[in-house]
Amino acid sequence: MLREGEKVFGMINVSDCYTLSNGVKIPCVGLGTWKGDWQTPDTGEVARAVCAAVEAGFRHIDTASCYLTEEGVGLGVKECGINRSELFVTTKLWNDVRGYRETIDAFHASMKKLGLKYLDLYLIHWPNPAAFRDHWQEYNAETWRAFEDLYKAGDIRAIGVSNFYPHHLDALMKTAQVAPMVNQIRLHPGCATDEIVQDCRRRGILLEGYSPLGTGNLLQNPEILRIAEKYGKSAAQICLRWSVQREFIPLPKSVTPQRIQQNAAIFDFEISEQDMEILTNLQGELGTQINQDNANF
Ligand code: A2P
């Protein structure tokens, strides 16, 4: 157990920040808002989750145009009682949009739904959509040029990608003037594709982890439950603490206030190196990173 206020791995609570390669601060844990299925989410429920998260100390909210939660997040941001400048909001460009003009338009459509004047982080959601597979490199280059212009104009404070493997980043960097600051990929115990993690670290790209609880799959895992009992924490807290100790930004999704509070309470203990290894190497039905080059979306 740590003494009160003791700093582990540089972070003391969910609003404590890493610094991106452009100097922008990003809180070390964020609230996820993907429902986990493709049904339309309840905007009021999403807004209430954002308010509960802010109440629990969260200052970082993650959404995407395809999650259909941008309105709910925008409403929550408006109603949560915290200044916009204290919050870090991310959204993502979906796979049906590529190209310069199209990207600018999609960005403004997202901003309208969010009801925000500026965005903290904008991500290309996937590198190689099925609809653009014939020339994905060129499409991404034009899309990234739009990201860069929005960034230079001050509409976005940081830009990045999601689900990009090293070869997607190599292709992007052939024409990029501004390097991505973030790569958001699937990261949780049993799923931390070393090739991507090491590559991003070499490039100075910060890693965010979506589905940090394996969309819930990890919460019944016997090994995680055993470790959770040992530390007197929940399985969710063990998963999130593992992310923090690996210096990934986990984005746990929850619409349940008690769980949101629990997911913020992960800074008063430390997982031993041995247990970290066990968690990293977990096997089973936990979920894996998707290589989009041959996916049908
Ligand atoms: P809910 O939103 O109903 O609270 P992931 O972040 O990996 O996608 O996992 C999200 C899933 O995990 C959701 O079903 C969410 O349920 C559930 N969840 C989030 N936090 C907790 C927690 N602390 N304890 C149990 N379940 C949780």
Give the model's confidence band at 289: pLDDT under 50 very low, under 70 low, under 90 confident, else very high.
confident
- Asked if residue 45 is part of any domain, the answer here is yes
Q: How far is the CA of 148 from the centre of ligand 1 (A)?
A: 34
Q: Quick one: tokens of 254? A: 């929850």
- Asked if residue 87 is part of any domain, the answer here is yes
Q: What is the DSSP string of 8-72?
A: BTTB-STT-EEE-TTS-EEESS-BB---SSSSPP-HHHHHHHHHHHHHTT--EEE--GGGT-HHH
Give the model's confidence band at 9: pLDDT under 50 very low, under 70 low, under 90 confident, else very high.
low
| CB 97 near ligand 1, within 6 Å | no
User: Would you call 67 a catalytic residue per the annotation?
Assistant: yes
- Asked if residue 291 is part of any domain, the answer here is no
* Amino acid symbol at 149: D
- Asked if residue 294 is part of any domain, the answer here is no
Higher pLDDT among residues 274 and 9, named by residue:
274
| CB 234 near ligand 1, within 6 Å | yes
Q: How far is the CA of 106 from the centre of ligand 1 (A)?
A: 29
- Asked if residue 253 is part of any domain, the answer here is yes
Instruction: Give the integer Cα–Cα distance in Å for 145 and 165.
Output: 20
- Asked if residue 295 is part of any domain, the answer here is no
pTM passes above 0.75: yes
For the stretch 130-177, pLDDT in tens is: 999 999 999 999 999 999 999 999 999 999 999 999 999 999 999 999
Give the model's confidence band at 1: pLDDT under 50 very low, under 70 low, under 90 confident, else very high.
very low
Q: Which domain holds residue 80?
A: 17-280
Total structural domains within the chain: 1
Kindly report the CATH number assigned to the domain that includes residue 250.
3.20.20.100
From 18, 67, 118, 151, active-site residue: 67
Sign of CA pseudo-dihedral 186, 189, 195, 197: positive
- Asked if residue 219 is part of any domain, the answer here is yes
Mean pLDDT of 196-215: 97
Please say if the pLDDT value at position 4 is more than 70: no
- Asked if residue 194 is part of any domain, the answer here is yes
Residue 271, strand partner residues: none
Instruction: Label residues 150-162 b or e (16+ Cβ within 10 Å = b).
Output: bbeeebbbbbbbb
Please say if the pLDDT value at position 2 is more than 90: no
